[in-house]
Amino acid sequence: QEDLEALIAEFQSLDAKKTQVIESSCPPPSPRLNGSLSAHPEKDELILFGGEYFNGQKTYLYNELYVYNIRKNSWSKVEIPNPPPRRCAHQAAVVPTAGGQLWVFGGEFASPNGEQFYHYKDLWVLHLATKTWEQIKASGGPSGRSGHRMVACKRQLIVFGGFHESARDYIYYNDVYAFHLDSFTWSKLVPSGIGPAPRSGCQMATSPEGSIIIYGGYSKQRVKKDVDKGTLHTDMFLLKTEGAGKEEDKWAWSRLNPSGVKPTPRSGFSVAIGPNNRSLLFGGVHDEEEEESIEGDFFNDIYFYDMGKNRWFPGQLKGPKSEKRKRRRGRQVEAEGAGDEEMEKQPPQGPLEIVKEVVAEDGTVMTIKQVISGPAEEKERSESEEEEEEEEGDGALGQQVEPCPRSNAMLAVKHGILYVYGGMFEVGDRQFTLSDLYSIDLHKMEEWKVLVEMDPKAQEWLEESESDEEEDDTEGAEGGEEEEESSEEESEDEGGEEQHPSVQPDEKHVDYLSRTEQYWIKLARSNMGVDAKEKKVVKVAHAMAKTFYEDSV
């Protein structure tokens, strides 16, 4: 603990040498997860702060401040004197006061070897108009923690849950604190009723009426010496007050039993508030805990929770209108999912989840999880009926660009558009940290747009003892695609292997593959890593596409 405090102090002394604000245009930020992405309340900008990165040997923590200009699709780095110390798994909330304020509470700092943690209990505010950081020193606040959640509610910041981990032990919280933005004071809330069990990483959202929603999260318990049991929470609670945001307000917990199609159990999901009184959940991971290892299924789906109707439903892509017309004219039969309007009239039906395992040549098992709507009945419809149905919100399955499955991404919503940045996924023992940026219009739900592509060169993974073969592969990957492909051709020719996957597709499969091949190659490459051989990536991609095509039809 003392070593970590000394390290933090050393970093702070370096930051203290900055005496003026320096704003400079820059390339997109490096890969990271567990940072915060916040929408500027007055400008078309997103604010990225903090986060972490692990390269297999060393953990890096950040306190950099980046600003993304939505209209220009450009990044700038803003260096401001005396910023908060480096951290990840903190929380940030924006309020519109005085040109906009970004409030940051808690989070953690980790030693470079990732074995020691320091949990912050400090509160900071970034004054967006003047570009100044200010630490707010007020007593009576939450203890040091990370993985907590914080939202702005009326004239308060409400903090719930989180965890604290030391070398010997850990503790999860379910306490609730309010920071009053008018008096700059903390108070611990003591709600009546039965509230959530201790947890971290839950969904926390504020309704327009000033109530607070809690969903899901993760916690673990020690069942015997050196053995922990993790719990994925799927319950939901409402924290309600009748007051107007005063310190003397009385709060009450109550259990929620929402209708609709609920998210599948997961941790590491990301959350945001969307339009139309809906909160949303994106991605995450479901870990299968075996005796000696943990295998995770990662997600890239969206679930909406309608706070007014107390109902969950999956966000399904409808596809661009031009694509719909082509499908209609060609009478192509594709799976269609129920949209908002249909779900109101019919009992909710869960989406069809296809899980397939594809084994690469080296034995790597790729678990591919796709969520599609249930098969629609084939019936003749007039063009006008189909147009009307599309306007009502029916989703149509089409292979499009989308973020690869991930957990611990950073989300923000501005003008009804969701932005997803970074995060991570794992393949075997290797962690891939992302630096891509995607957006989707939540009003239309037509298609994802790639704003910043993932840079394969930014993927670094250092094993403690790498074999010569692995080092050769890495050099090949760094040497560029052409060199990599030529060396692969030689090695595969020597081995007498086929140069193309032996798939016996029908004509429709060929058409499907030709339209979606790049999508599947990108998905396979993102899961297999940049040092995977190109032909192996293509082979796995084709197998994935064939599997998905056959199950879809």
What is the predicted pLDDT for the residue at 184?
A: 96
Smallest Cα–Cα separation from 298: which of 316, 281, 284?
Answer: 284
What is the predicted pLDDT for the residue at 462?
A: 83
The DSSP code for 19 is: -
The helix, strand and coil proportions of the chain, stated in percent and rounded to the nearest 5, come to: 20, 40, 40
CA distance 322 to 319: 8
For residue 244, give every residue at least 6 positions away whose Cβ sits within 8 Å of its Cβ, in sequence order, or none: 154
CATH number 2.120.10.80 is the correct assignment for the domain at 22-317+404-458: yes
What is the predicted pLDDT for the residue at 397?
A: 47
Phi and psi at residue 215, to the nearest 5° = -135, 140
Mean pLDDT by 10 residues, the chain (553 residues): 74 79 95 97 97 92 97 97 95 96 96 86 97 96 97 95 89 97 96 96 94 96 84 96 71 97 96 95 86 76 97 90 53 41 43 51 51 40 41 48 95 98 90 95 96 79 54 32 33 36 52 68 72 80 72 54
Buried b (16+ CB within 10 A) or exposed e, 527-542: bbbbbbbbbbbbbbbb
Q: How many Cα atoms occupy the beta-carbon half-sphere of 111 within 13 Å?
A: 14
What is the predicted pLDDT for the residue at 255?
A: 97
What is the predicted pLDDT for the residue at 539?
A: 82
What is the predicted pLDDT for the residue at 181?
A: 96
What is the predicted pLDDT for the residue at 3?
A: 75
What is the predicted pLDDT for the residue at 245?
A: 58
What is the predicted pLDDT for the residue at 456?
A: 67
Classified as helix, coil or strand, 193 is coil
User: For the chain, where do the domains classified as CATH 2.120.10.80 start and end?
Assistant: 22-317+404-458
CA distance 53 to 68: 20
CA distance 469 to 228: 36
- Please report the DSSP string for 506-545 in residue order: -HHHHHHHHHHHHHHHHHHHHHH-TTS-HHHHHHHHHHHH
Instruction: Compute CA distances 250 → 157, 183, 236, 239, 246, whole Å.
Output: 16, 18, 20, 10, 9
